[in-house]
Amino acid sequence: MLLDLLTPHRVVFVGGKGGVGKTSVAAALALGRARAGARVLLVSTDPAHNLGHLWDRPVGDRPVRLTGPGDLTPGAGRAGHVDGLEIDPERTVEQHLSAVAATMRRLLPERMHAPAARHLELARQAPGTHESAVLERIAEAVELGAEAYDLVVFDTAPSGHTLRLLALPEQLASWTEALLVNRDRSERFGDAVRGLGGGRETDRDAELRRVLLRRRDRFARLREVVTDPARTGFVIVLTAEPLPIAETTEMYEKLTGLGVEVTALVANRRSPADAGDLLARRRDREDEHLVRLRRRIPDPPLLDVPLLPGDLVGAEALAVLADRLGPSPA
């Protein structure tokens, strides 16, 4: 069972191609664990959010309770719950930039304020700004999870976006590293100048250094959590069709390259073998695709989730899906 496989983990990422069922599986996982007593934070990092739609209640940029008392099995002992959070990239970028602007105003001499503001305006549009802001929020959610939850489940955006995000801590860490090295050089230069009679820059330098170090450490911690298979699980959801399978293989290779271990593959919306000729033939095709997938990716468990008849909306429907997170014959 997928739920059993992921029991030891404190953080789970659910990824895969667009439309394969990432949000549904992430939500069902969260609900499944909450029914077993866990306090779960379900976080959407996809700019096109739909947690709210799925749970049939408003979800926003702060955690809100998604499960009601009736959504969890009574008498399961410890009461668990699911809280939901949709990371809003626009708002995150705004908050991030205004925090940076405040720090800059505090740290930079007056004459630098106008050029610094222009620089920030450009940064708003720069590639990577959204992603690094979202990454900061992912780091924050992981930290919040460690304090107040047993598990954080990330419902991620389609493959490419998520992979870029996961590669970022590395890039940002080395970028901050480079800035710090430059600061060291300029500090030595500053010391020399101060030796000649200056002396006002010391506090600012120290503060800027602290800000950079904090950021670097935060990303380094995130990277450590994400690449630790004992703490973090990664589930790739797919449907047994050529394109999702091609993307799964690509994603698997990239994740492995980033040092992220894939815990399980989920073949979602499997056609039934016993519901008429059309679906039986579809199922045979799916099996063939899955055999090919297994040749490329033999190791992580592959689990089947059947095509369900109803609309997957609301805790009741998600509970049906949670019940079906079972093992695959493939």
Ligand X SMILES: Nc1ncnc2c1ncn2[C@@H]1O[C@H](COP(=O)(O)OP(=O)(O)OP(=O)(O)O)[C@@H](O)[C@H]1O
For 59, the 3-state DSSP assignment is: coil
Q: Smallest Cα–Cα separation from 240: which of 262, 271, 263?
A: 271
- State the nearest-atom distance from the C-beta of 85 to ligand X, in Å: 16
Answer for which of 162, 248, 263, 268 binds ligand X (CB under 6 A) is 268
> How many angstroms separate the CA atoms of 160 and 214, rounded?
28
Order of strands across the sheet with 232-239? 64-65, 81-86, 39-44, 151-155, 11-16, 232-239, 264-270, 302-306
Q: Residues 4, 46, 228, 274: which is the catalytic one?
A: 46
- Strand-pair partners of 279: none
CA distance 224 to 243: 31
β-pairing, 39-44 vs 81-86, is: parallel
Residue list 156-175, contact with ligand X (CB under 6 A): 158
Nearest-angstrom CA–CA distance, 210 and 284: 59
Q: In this structure, are residues 53 and 44 in contact, taking their beta carbons and an 8 Å threshold?
A: no
- # of chain residues touching ligand X (CB under 6 A): 16
- Going by the DSSP 8-state scheme, the letter that residue 70 receives in this structure is G
142 binds ligand X (CB under 6 A): no
The answer to whether 176 contacts ligand X (rule: CB under 6 A) is: no
| Residue 302: CB minimum distance to ligand X, A | 15
Name the token pair of 172: 């940002």
Q: Is the CB of 22 or the CB of 161 nearer to Mg ion?
A: 22
Please say which residue, 108 or 319, places its beta carbon nearer to ligand X. Answer: 319
Instruction: Pick out residues in 11-30 that bind Mg ion (CB under 5 A).
Output: 22-23
Enter the tokens of residue 320.
Answer: 């049906």
Between 46 and 150, whose beta carbon lies closer to ligand X? 46
| 45 binds Mg ion, rule: CB under 5 A | no
Q: Whole-number minimum distance, CB 120 to Mg ion, in Å?
A: 31
Q: Does 244 bind ligand X (CB under 6 A)?
A: no
- 239: contact with Mg ion by CB under 5 A: no
Among 35, 218, 269, 283, indicate the residue that binds ligand X (CB under 6 A): 269
40, with CB counted inside 10 A (0-12, 13-18, 19+), is: buried
Please calculate the CA angle 137-203-199 and round it to the nearest 5 degrees: 150
Biggest alpha carbon–alpha carbon distance for the chain: 89
Which listed range, 15-23, 32-40, 114-122, 283-291, lies at the site for ligand X (CB under 6 A)? 15-23
Stretch touching ligand X by CB under 6 A, among 114-122, 145-153, 250-258, 306-314: 306-314
Q: Would you count residue 286 as binding ligand X (CB under 6 A)?
A: no
Name the minimum Å distance from CB 86 to Mg ion. 11
Dihedral over Cα of 273, 279, 280, 284: its sign: negative
Interaction between residue 279 and ligand X (CB under 6 A): no
Among ligand X, Mg ion, none, partner that 308 touches (CB below 5 to 8 angstroms by kind):
ligand X
Under rule CB under 6 A, which residues in 39-98 are in contact with ligand X?
46, 50
The question of whether 284 is a catalytic residue gets the answer no
Residues that bind Mg ion (CB under 5 A): 22-23
Residues tagged active-site: 46
Residues that bind ligand X (CB under 6 A): 18-24, 46, 50, 158, 268-269, 305, 307-308, 312
